[in-house]
């Protein structure tokens, strides 16, 4: 193993000058590849996105995705030495691909297999350094010794780059050796990316329907007029609400018109229901639940515990030992017994990847006990891990995709009923290829994935905020493993946490326009037609509930309803006139 301090430091501008002249540069075990110019694909339909991902270490790497894409035909990388991430800031770069003539706007999907030597495990991060932009984390993997781990990510450039460096580093201070294999880099134009999204939406969110019309004797009727309308949606799309919705009829009507799911912003959190020890009050939460019930809205339970001590009741922070154990048992039994069967989900121990208030005080099995007790209290509720910076960035070492997967598996091995993957999604600048890669990897667990708290930072202008929101929502809705999306846009007189959809008079902001546009796009518009010579009428519809009107003559008409649930086969529905 080579000590990183022995590697000759090369500043980026020096490196660029050298790499324009030499095909390969090797220095003290560090290998650089200079890639020749290749134009991005310009096929009308383009390549099909490959959602393959692997969360388990393997004895041998799989073949590269897209046959390597832009990296096809280049030598297999051998074992190299890498150091810690801080060296990059000083201009010392470790194993890397040097990429020429990357196009702005293209989505570049990257993947490689990683094997480490000299450590039991290590978080290996892939970063991109391009002209006129800051270094960007494009993917990471928690690599294990003795086997190959799969790193999948990607990036988008805001401006073209004649020369970019994709390099790999250990996230901590340890020196180790690394092998890379089956690397791949595949570009997608905006049109190709959207085409792939539409392909998944048509496959996963829609289903073909054929309506058969006949008389009571079974004779098929040709020329019957068919009118079909979707009356409800199967996919849960909603937002946070706060007590400000109570008694506010215009806000309630605005919400119900758009959303079929809701989550209480703060009103179920421990500091809201029991601000003083022994004074439990669910009045506000009960009133909000009445609104939810009255409008047949699906509700998530958020949250039982919050590991961040800042949002733990002050009186709880002063407890220790048996007093704290008694308090948490009282909290979970009170909350779960009162609302058993009311909430489809519970975020059990919020943001446990970043904070560990209860485990520090009650021992390493505290979170496990929370999950087991919650399941016993409400066995029909889906129990979620919920955390931030899992899909927002790969630069947060506390909440990488592999860290999330590792913690979830740890709880499952302990006996916890772990049913759902909650991804908060508080974005500044989203990275669609890496978001999709992260979702691919999480999907290998076979659990429902929800984007639970989607918003975009208010530090950017409203038009850009809206554009970024549309990117995130399209990524979520077009991923086969995502089962629901929740916005974090509860309206207050002062505004919203980060992002509002409307002003205080319920006039749409640009973000609200985006939501309304997508809601319309993701719903079957009213379909009209007539039956063919076989008495049939077919269409492709979004999953949900439908009403259908059939008219043959003025005196021969009927109405019916049917459900369109997920399935690969055409849904056949027969109507007699």
CA distances from 230 to 54, 66, 520, 552 (A): 38, 39, 11, 21
170 or 96, which is more confident: 170
Average confidence score pLDDT of the chain:
89
Strand 225-233 with 149-156, pairing? unpaired
DSSP 309: G
Q: Which residue has the tokens 């991109």?
A: 128
The helix-helix angle for 510-521 and 249-258 (nearest 10°) equals 40
Average pLDDT of span 36-54: 67
SS3 state of residue 36: coil
Average pLDDT of span 343-364: 97
**Dist. CA 480–CA 202, nearest whole Å:** 11
Q: What is the pLDDT of residues 367-416, one digit of tens each?
A: 999 999 999 999 999 999 999 999 999 999 999 999 999 999 999 999 99
H-type helices in 61-134, by residue range?
86-89
Closest CA to 64 of 54, 513, 297, 116: 54
Residue 134: per-residue pLDDT: 81
Cβ(348)–Cβ(304) under 8 Å?
yes
SS3 state of residue 493: coil
DSSP 396: -
Residue 424: per-residue pLDDT: 98
159 or 554, which is more confident: 159
SS (H, E, C) 153-166: EEEECCCCEEEEEE
- Positive or negative: CA dihedral 366, 370, 371, 377: positive
Lowest mean pLDDT among 91-105, 134-148, 450-464, 510-524: 91-105
455 or 25, which is more confident: 455
Residue 294: per-residue pLDDT: 98
Residue 553: per-residue pLDDT: 86
Nearest-Å Rg of the Cα atoms of the chain is 27
Query: Could you list the active site residues?
Result: 351, 453
Residue 80: per-residue pLDDT: 59
Tokens of 11: 């500043």
Residue 418: per-residue pLDDT: 81
Average pLDDT of span 156-183: 90
**Dist. CA 318–CA 326, nearest whole Å:** 13
Confidence of residue 166 (pLDDT cuts 50, 70, 90): very high
- Residue 93: pLDDT above 60? no
Closest CA to 501 of 459, 452, 456: 456
Tokens of 45: 């339909």
Closest CA to 481 of 529, 438, 538, 528: 438
**Dist. CA 325–CA 337, nearest whole Å:** 18
Residue 555: per-residue pLDDT: 84
Strand 237-241 with 556-564, pairing? unpaired
Cβ(475)–Cβ(392) under 8 Å?
no
Residue 295: per-residue pLDDT: 98
Residue 74: per-residue pLDDT: 63
- Residue 8: pLDDT above 50? no
Give the whole-number percent of the chain exceeding pLDDT 70.
89
- Residue 493: pLDDT above 50? yes
351 or 216, which is more confident: 351
Confidence of residue 77 (pLDDT cuts 50, 70, 90): low
Closest CA to 97 of 32, 29, 40: 32
Residue 82: per-residue pLDDT: 60
**Dist. CA 107–CA 518, nearest whole Å:** 21
Residue 73: per-residue pLDDT: 73
Neighbouring CB atoms inside 10 A of 144's CB total: 18
Q: What is the pLDDT of residues 534-556, one digit of tens each?
A: 999 999 999 999 999 999 987 89
DSSP for 82-95, written as a single string: E-BTHHHHTT---S
Residue 495: per-residue pLDDT: 95
Tokens of 320: 């220790």
């Amino acid at each position: 193993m080579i000590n990183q301090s022995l590697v000759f430091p090369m500043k980026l501008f020096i490196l660029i000058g050298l790499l324009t002249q030499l095909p390969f540069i090797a220095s003290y075990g560090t290998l650089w590849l200079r890639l020749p110019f290749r134009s991005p694909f310009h096929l009308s339909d383009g390549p099909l996105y490959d959602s393959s991902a692997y969360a388990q270490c393997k004895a041998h790497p799989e073949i590269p995705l897209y046959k390597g894409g832009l990296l096809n035909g280049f030598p297999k990388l051998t074992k190299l030495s890498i150091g810690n991430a801080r060296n990059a800031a000083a201009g010392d770069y470790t194993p890397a691909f040097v990429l020429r003539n990357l196009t702005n706007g293209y989505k570049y999907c990257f993947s490689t297999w990683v094997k480490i030597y000299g450590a039991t495990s290590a978080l290996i991060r892939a970063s991109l350094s391009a002209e006129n932009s800051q270094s960007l984390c494009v993917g990471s993997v928690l690599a294990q010794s003795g086997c190959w781990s799969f790193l999948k990510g990607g990036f988008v450039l805001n401006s073209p780059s004649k020369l970019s460096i994709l390099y790999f580093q250990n996230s901590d201070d340890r020196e180790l050796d690394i092998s890379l294999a089956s690397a791949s880099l595949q570009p997608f134009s905006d049109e190709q990316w959207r085409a792939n999204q539409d392909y998944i939406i048509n496959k996963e969110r829609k289903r073909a329907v054929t309506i058969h019309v006949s008389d009571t004797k079974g004779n098929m009727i040709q020329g019957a007029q068919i009118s079909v309308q979707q009356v409800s949606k199967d996919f849960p799309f909603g937002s946070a609400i706060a007590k400000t919705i109570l008694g506010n009829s215009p806000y309630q009507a605005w919400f119900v018109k758009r959303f079929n799911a809701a989550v209480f912003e703060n009103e179920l959190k421990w500091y809201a229901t029991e601000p003083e020890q022994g004074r439990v009050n669910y009045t506000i939460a009960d009133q909000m639940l009445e609104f939810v019930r009255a409008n047949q809205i699906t509700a998530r339970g958020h949250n039982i515990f919050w590991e961040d001590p800042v949002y733990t009741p002050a009186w709880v922070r002063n407890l220790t030992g048996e007093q704290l154990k008694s308090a948490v048992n009282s909290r979970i039994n009170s909350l779960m017994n009162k609302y058993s069967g009311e909430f489809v989900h519970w975020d059990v121990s919020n943001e446990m990847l970043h904070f560990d208030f209860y485990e520090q005080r009650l021992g390493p099995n505290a979170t496990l006990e929370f999950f087991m007790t919650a399941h016993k209290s409400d066995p029909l509720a889906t129990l979620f891990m919920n955390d931030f910076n899992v899909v927002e960035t790969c630069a947060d070492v506390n909440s990488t995709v592999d860290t999330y997967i590792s913690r979830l598996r740890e709880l499952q091995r302990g006996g916890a009923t772990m049913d759902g993957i909650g991804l908060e999604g508080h974005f500044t600048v989203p990275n669609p290829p890496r978001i999709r890669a992260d979702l691919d990897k999480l999907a290998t667990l076979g659990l429902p994935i929800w984007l639970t708290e989607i918003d975009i930072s208010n530090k950017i202008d409203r038009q850009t905020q809206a554009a970024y929101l549309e990117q995130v929502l399209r990524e979520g809705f077009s991923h086969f493993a995502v089962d629901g999306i929740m916005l974090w846009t509860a309206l207050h007189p002062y505004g919203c946490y980060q992002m509002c959809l409307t002003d205080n008079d319920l006039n749409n902001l640009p973000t609200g326009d985006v939501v309304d546009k997508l809601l319309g796009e993701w719903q079957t518009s009213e379909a009209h037609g007539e039956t063919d010579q076989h008495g049939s009428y077919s269409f492709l519809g979004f999953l949900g509930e439908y009403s259908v009107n059939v008219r043959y003559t003025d005196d021969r008409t009927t109405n019916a309803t049917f459900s369109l649930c997920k399935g690969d086969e055409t849904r056949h529905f027969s109507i007699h006139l």
